[in-house]
Every structure is written in structure tokens, then in C-alpha cells.
Structure 1
């Protein structure tokens, strides 16, 4: 009779990411001050099932994402499920995050029951809009600088 194989215990060093599985840990907004700065530097935009804010970063670095789920969305387990669903969609599309910007999502309660493919399509559409808006802001800033320089 063979003894059952013993699985290796998980330690901090053995919990390595699986190949092809991205992590959002480096791309998350964590500090309250960062959220407040992003709110002040942006305006609220709406989509079918969430609101979102896009703000340029004070010191451009990797794009960052924040999620909020207030008590109005339901009990703790419902809010946690909403955030888990949103994080999974964002994890799949980290490459679409606008560089040099902070993006904050305020999901509505409907995200809890929305089909995952529809949720994913909506978040991708928001990320594309955010990238287009960032590109517009960048070209507008470049044009303003070009006009401000004196011609010699």
C-alpha cells in the first residue's frame, strides 16, 4: 500500500505566482491620501453599473487602481464579493490600465448579480475610455507647451 504523498507546506517563499497569472498588488491604491488626491484631481464619470474617477499621478509611475464598496452596497460578504469580482476582471486586463494615472471604481450593487462577461466588457470599455482620455490630456498639454515657447 502506498502512502499518500505529502504536499509541500506553503511558506512565503513557496507562494510564488503561477506562470501567466498577473498580480494586482503593485497596482493598487492603498492610502487614503492617494484616494483624496485622485478625487480632487478628477471628475466623476458614469457607466451602466459603476462610477469611475481618472486622475493623473503626481509622480508618474505604474498605473494604480482603487476599488470602493460602501455599506450602501450590502452586507460585508456582498461587498467582498463585489470587490473580488472587480479585482478578477482588472487582474485579467492589467495591460489596459492607463500609464501615469490613478483610476478609482465605485461599483453599484448590480455588479453582484451581473454576468461576469458583461462586467468584464464594461470594465474593458471603461479602461479604453480612460486610455483615450489620458491620450487627449497628454496631447493637449504638449500643444499648450509648444504654444507657450517663444519662437526664436
Structure 2
């Protein structure tokens, strides 16, 4: 089942169960996907975003909510922090499993070896390969410095 179909089915289930939090979060997800579909219509009328692109949208949504939760926490708005964290939990259910620190290190080493990257100039090539393979499974804000350190050590 495609990610889009799963989201649609889960939206219907949440409606029937009257699960307001899940329903509102799924509606936000569907709206973000629809926005992305519309943005791509200039290329061709039939094109819908792929599961990989949906995963990227979901990852951005999680990142935005983490930032919002941090801001709410600084402002002392704990009820809003709880809401953001609850939305994150719903969104993350549709993301692939996050790689552990060891798995991330292994993936970085594998990619560097595979691409025969030997200097910091190859960082973009390595990051692009990692993003293509592990979108939604790694936090690339944390991976960047790891790749840089490894390339500078080579």
C-alpha cells in the first residue's frame, strides 16, 4: 500500500473513531501533500509526488514541530508543547524507522567508500547519495558534521 493510500485510509479510520488529534494531524499532512502536488503541476498535469517526496514532506513537518515545541517551551506554553509532541508522534508513524548512531556511522562509511570520496570537496556528492538512500531515516543536520569530520580525517 502506498503511503498516500495509507494516509487516506487512516484519515477515514480517525474520522470514524472521532480521534480529533489524529484526524487534524492527518488533514495537515494531506494538505501539505496536496500543496506539493499543486506546485508540481506546472511540470505535468498527471504528476503526483512519490512516496519518497511524501517522506521528505513528513520529515519537514516533524522538524517544524520540534522547532515550535522548543519555542513554546521557552515561552512557558506547556499545553502547546504537548500538542506539538502529540502531532510529532502521529507524523512519525508514517516515517521509516530512524537509523541508530552505529547504523548512521556505517552508512556514512559505506557511502564514502563506495563513492571513493577522499576530500572535503566530495562532501556534496556524499550528502546527496545519503539523502537519496536514507531520506526520513537520518537527521541530515546531524549527519553533515559527521561526514565532514570523516572526510577531513581521510
TM-score range, shorter chain: under 0.3
Q: TM-score, normalised by structure 2?
A: 0.26
Higher strand proportion (structure 1 or 2): 1
Q: Which has the higher contact order (CA 8 A, sep 6+)?
A: 1
Q: TM-score, normalised by structure 1?
A: 0.26
Higher helix proportion (structure 1 or 2): 2
